[in-house]
Amino acid sequence: MSYTFKGVSPSPELLRDTAFIAGDWVSAADGRTFAVTDPSCGEIIRHVPDLSREDTRKAIDAAHAAQKLWADETAETRADVLRRFHDLVMKHQEDLARILTAEMGKPLQEARGEITYGASYLLWFAEEARRVYGDTIPAHRKDARIMVLRQPVGVVAAITPWNFPSAMPCRKFAPALAAGCAVVFKPAMETPLSALALAALGERAGLPRGVLSVITTSDSRAFGAEVCENPLVSKLTFTGSTQVGRLLMAQAAPKIMKLSMELGGNAPFIVFDDADVDAAVDGCIQSKFRNNGQTCVCTNRIYVQDGVHDVFVEKLTEAVARLNVGSGMDPRTDLGPLISEAACDKFETHIADAVEKGARILTGAPTRLPQGTFVQPTVLSGLSSDMLVATEETFAPLAPVFRFSDEDEVVRMANDTEFGLASYFYANNLNRVWRVAERLAFGMVGVNTGLISTAVAPFGGIKQSGFGKEGSKYGLDDFLTMKYVCLGGIA
């Protein structure tokens, strides 16, 4: 029995069960497939090809040939293709949102927002493609002229996780294609259907054959090994766990490959006594419970100063208790399922550890719901630094609230992590805003806001959260090389 979408089914042209290599829609040579399931019920949506390392090699060969021709196109031509790509994504926003919700689980309204967010990168880099500027530099001698050229790095391999299956591919595709690179892309095994739908729209927008390939495979190690060892691949851009990032960096080291790494996070959310408490609660809900807590920039540790601690906790608990858990296709749903049973297990482990060490559950439950991978959003109080929630990323709808007394103390606690991706704080005193923003050791800081992601700003972290930036005018840099040209003998 085939999967039935609740409500309107997406266009069959976008719901693909074949992979995309060098402009062709293909199955695995040996016929192998793997299932893509709906986490809300476990039902199989589609089977997609389980491709081999040899298939990845074919995609790389095609990308190497196509990239040179793509780079030779004018910036205007590349910009026009990306603009058409953007327009097609927005035209099919509802189709893409329904595919996304089916395979990943997030509420449909949130999925629509993700489609818009991802498309914004296509639009932004359609314009940035026209602005890959070089320089001339006053020369060191009379008969010389110095130029600096910026050129595409070449073939780019890209890997993304399951939590933003449409937006993250767009964040990788857009700057690479704008720069004149070709892309060989591997989506997460849990959520390949959104990437395949994007590939279909990219093909329709006019991307030349070979410039974009989407490899569906259950063998992530083989894909990683091929792109890190293949001499035709010049760059790897990866979003995922710090552990896997370390492995890929080690694999790429012999080739001295250009890398971008957007890795794990452990975001603090700080509320000072002078904050607007109602605004802080709203921002916390937005930051903590977006995508059911399954984002790398989600709040993981909430620190509230003594003077507002009790009222903040009371209001946060009331707000969380009102959140509805259910199928993402239900318009009443605020939080969908977690992505897997393993995610539920981690959620329960973190709660059990905290309770055993003295924390109190203010709302929610430490056990999952009977069907699917659903859990109740939970607020904990009475936290201490020896609990798992203080050091590990939960990646689930769990809000642990720590109490603190002074600014120095909370900055020290916030920075006491190997990660450095996102951070948030609420305060109204201007002196404090400047001090804390500068002292937090994170690549991104949200001040009086719980939502910081946008195509116009540089997204990325420091420390073991990785390096490289996505979005903004800086987002092309990792897909370009800088060449110095010295012209001599000019009389």
| Residues tagged active-site | 262, 296
Structure-block tokens of residue 138: 């006053």
Length of the chain: 491
Task: Supply 288's token pair.
Answer: 């903590």
Q: What is the 8-class DSSP label of residue 436? A: H
Cβ contacts of 276-279, under 8 Å, gap ≥ 24: 276/426, 276/428, 276/448, 277/308, 277/311, 277/312, 277/315, 278/315, 279/426, 279/448
Lay out the sheet containing 145-152: strands in order across: 135-137, 145-152, 480-487
Helix (H, G, I), strand (E, B) or coil at 159: strand
What is residue 303's three-state secondary structure? strand
Pairing of strands 145-152, 155-159: unpaired
Full DSSP string of 161-211? -SSSTTHHHHHHHHHHHHHT-EEEEE--TT--HHHHHHHHHHHHHTPPTTS
Tokens of 424: 């948030």
From residue 225, alpha-carbon distances to 58, 75, 153 in Å are 14, 33, 20
CA of 17: how far to CAs of 36, 39, 62, 382, in Å?
Answer: 10, 18, 21, 49
Q: Count CA within 13 A, CB hemisphere, residue 8.
A: 10
Residue type, 63: A
Instruction: Write the single-letter amino acid at 321.
Output: A
Neighbour count for residue 342 (Cβ, 10 Å): 10
